[in-house]
Amino acid sequence: MGLLGTGILKGLGVTLRHFIDTYAEDLKYILNKSGVQQPRPLRRQSPKARGLVTVEYPRERLPLPENFRYVPFLVYDTEKQDDKCTSCGICAKVCPPQCIWIVRTEDPVTKRPVPQPKEFYIDTTICMNCGYCAEFCPFDAIKMDHDYELSYYPHQEPHARLVQDKAELTKPDTYHASIHPTDWHRELEDRAAEEAKKKAAAEAKAKADAAKAAGGSAAPGAAGAKPATPAAAATTSKPAPPKAEDKPADAAGEASDQ
């Protein structure tokens, strides 16, 4: 306990320091034009910054973190020219507010389901952006978007844009790669690993068949199968998100679930 009023003065010192810091930081930035600097919004909001943290949205924008999630979109495989979605329905089941609606395609002749969605709706008025659909999709076919500015003029058809159909939801995988580079690389690695595994298995089988046919020379076959397996092991042992490893298991679970 000191003199009456010292507590208030101490507090005023803090506000004064804040006031000075606001300008000091910008001054530093103006004076130091040389060298590589972070862009202004990033620098302002770094944990080390002392000055003002605000950015002037929408003129300035903070970069979105890769994991940022907003209403999901469907990934279109530009290489195979096909939807990645197989309409397995896991996303519709894990969706907490039940905003995903899928119509499965049927083969017109056999009436059996074809792994492709005929219709796919997401009701963005209900979607809670939880990210479960993207997390549990075994085919990497649905991903969370970064486009958070979803507002429409009322003269556009009511609900029409907020309930998005398949055409509106589908975006190319190049877009997915651009907003989720890490995720995309993990997918590519998974795919490469899987292909390598398949190839190795096929080769081993071919070798084994050949060996059987030849009648006994197994040693070269084992040597031939070797180069593929360490590569696969190397890709999977990287600190990738563990769901990468769980994906195939999930798919198996789904198959039994159906």
Residue placing its CB nearer to other proteins in the complex, 146 or 203:
146
- Identify which range of 91-99, 194-202, 205-213, 221-229 contacts other proteins by CB under 8 A: 91-99
Q: State yes or no: residue 15 binds other proteins (CB under 8 A).
A: yes
Q: How many CB atoms lie within 10 A of CB 79?
A: 6
**Cβ at position 190, least distance to other proteins in Å:** 14
Q: State yes or no: residue 159 binds other proteins (CB under 8 A).
A: yes
Classify 155 as helix, strand or coil: coil
**Chosen residue from 43, 55, 116, 129 binding other proteins by CB under 8 A:** 129
Q: Residue 21: CA atoms inside 13 Å, Cβ hemisphere, count?
A: 13
Task: Give the Cα separation of 61 and 75 in Å (integer).
Answer: 26
Q: State yes or no: residue 103 binds other proteins (CB under 8 A).
A: yes
**Chosen residue from 132, 196, 225, 235 binding other proteins by CB under 8 A:** 132
Residue 36 Cα distances to 25, 29, 46, 151, 205, angstroms: 16, 11, 16, 37, 56
**Chosen residue from 37, 78, 98, 156 binding other proteins by CB under 8 A:** 98
**Chosen residue from 26, 29, 92, 116 binding other proteins by CB under 8 A:** 92
Classify 257 as helix, strand or coil: helix
**Cβ at position 199, least distance to other proteins in Å:** 26
**Cβ at position 250, least distance to other proteins in Å:** 7
Q: How many CB atoms lie within 10 A of CB 183?
A: 20
**Cβ at position 103, least distance to other proteins in Å:** 6
Task: Give the Cα separation of 121 and 102 in Å (integer).
Answer: 6
Task: Give the Cα separation of 206 and 200 in Å (integer).
Answer: 10
* DSSP per-residue codes, 17-76: HHHHHHHHHHHHHHH--SS----HHHHHTSTT--S-----TTTS-PPPPTT--EEEEEEE
**Cβ at position 104, least distance to other proteins in Å:** 4
**Cβ at position 224, least distance to other proteins in Å:** 32
The phi, psi pair for 198, rounded to 5°, reads -60, -45
**Chosen residue from 20, 24, 38, 119 binding other proteins by CB under 8 A:** 119
Residue placing its CB nearer to other proteins in the complex, 131 or 224:
131
The tokens for 100 are 């995903």
Which residues of the shown chain bind other proteins in the complex (CB under 8 A)?
Answer: 2, 4-8, 10-11, 13-15, 18, 45, 47-48, 53, 65-69, 87, 89-90, 92-96, 98, 100-104, 113, 119, 121, 123, 126, 128-132, 135-136, 144, 159, 163, 165, 239-243, 246, 249-250, 253, 257
